[in-house]
Amino acid sequence: MKTAMFVNTDSWFETTTNQTRTSEAGSTPRIPSRQRSKGSLQKEMRFAGWFWRSANEESKSSSWPLWIFILAINGAITFTLQFIIGLIPALSIFLLIQGITTILLFPRIRETVYKAFRKLAYPSSTENLQVYPLADVDFFLTPSQDVVIMAHKGGNSATALLVVDKVPMGIRGNMSAFIRAVYSAHVPLFYALVHAPIPHQSLLTHHAITEKAQDTLSTLDPSQQAAFAWRKGGLWKTRLLLGTRRDVSTLYDGPPDEVLVNQVQHDLQTLQIAFRTAYPHIRLRRLTGTELEDGIRSLLLQGKPPHFF
């Protein structure tokens, strides 16, 4: 009977629908055809539900009674075992048996557990792994506003920054002498070059362009100006940040913050003198206040131009 209904589903549905419409037309007063068709379809679908179900519905109907039956038996066994081996071991056995039963009886739960173990065994290279490099890190600006103190779980760090404020057209200096002077003074050094291209539309009015170059560019149309800038490598705006930093660990009895700040201020002065000696025509400026804060942020964000850029 069940097989026949599956094979002749369409003919059975059409026949039953016609019979239902005929009986309703004969026993009830006049009803609009759209209403009558909708009611008939609902009845047919309700009636068809008695004869077949989807695979998911069949698995639910067969799995849940078995799961509840095993739960009752498992509970009775646990109740008996608690007097023999104790409550906590008995509960552990109960959870183990019921967990295995749940995984075996319900395919969706089994697939979820399988995917979770697979991710642990074979981590995907396409998924981003969230990290917390700045967790539990606090920043403080000293009263003099020329040093930033960073407190973290490994200790404290103090940082100060210089910025190259003006550079002459022809740079002449001695980088080797600068590095030797800093090395001899045992001053920690780091630097960052922040670059940003200037659009070719701004070349004609930019103050860094000579009058002769502006005259040449004014004879070119926009596409030729773009091609000219591309051939020359473009015009770039650059900021050079020079910095020094001292660290102290909280695992050992290190100097207090005042000593750390004084040391960084002395290092920054040494760094400034060494750079001016090696490059006498370049003007340096010490960053303080919001500019120092923005410079630290630029270093942390790997090249984001500070607001004084």
Residue 239 has pLDDT above 90, yes or no: no
Across 160-164, average pLDDT:
93
Give the model confidence (pLDDT) of 93-104 as tens digits.
888 888 888 878
Q: Are strands 283-286 and 138-141 parallel, antiparallel or unpaired?
A: unpaired
What is the percent of the chain where pLDDT is above 70? 72
Q: Where are the domains of the chain?
A: 2-48, 55-121, 138-300
**In this predicted model, which residue has the larger pLDDT, 267 or 252?**
267
Across 118-141, average pLDDT:
76
φ and ψ of 163, to 5 deg: -130, 140
Write down the pLDDT at residue 13: 41
At 236, which helix (H) or strand (E)?
A: strand 235-249
Residue 20 has pLDDT above 70, yes or no: no
Q: Which residues 6+ apart lie within 8 Å of 160 measured at CB?
A: 146, 147, 148, 243, 244, 245, 264, 265, 267, 268, 286, 287, 292
φ and ψ of 196, to 5 deg: -150, 130
Rounded Cα–Cα distance for residues 167 and 188 (Å)? 24
Give the confidence band of 145 by pLDDT, cuts at 50, 70, 90. very high
Across 164-177, average pLDDT:
79
Across 166-177, average pLDDT:
78
Across 250-258, average pLDDT:
67
Write down the pLDDT at residue 258: 86
Residue 48 has pLDDT above 90, yes or no: no
Residue 61 has pLDDT above 90, yes or no: no
Give the confidence band of 67 by pLDDT, cuts at 50, 70, 90. confident
Write down the pLDDT at residue 45: 58
Mean per-residue pLDDT over the chain, rounded: 76
Q: Residue 288, SS3?
A: coil
Q: Mean pLDDT check: name the lowest of 121-125, 177-181, 191-195.
A: 121-125
